[in-house]
Chain A
Amino acid sequence: NAGVTQTPKFQVLKTGQSMTLQCAQDMNHEYMSWYRQDPGMGLRLIHYSVGAGITDQGEVPNGYNVSRSTTEDFPLRLLSAAPSQTSVYFCASSYSRGVKPQHFGDGTRLSIL
Chain B
Amino acid sequence: DTAVSQTPKYLVTQMGNDKSIKCEQNLGHDTMYWYKQDSKKFLKIMFSYNNKELIINETVPNRFSPKSPDKAHLNLHINSLELGDSAVYFCASRLAGTYNEQFFGPGTRLTVL
Report whether chain A binds chain B.
no
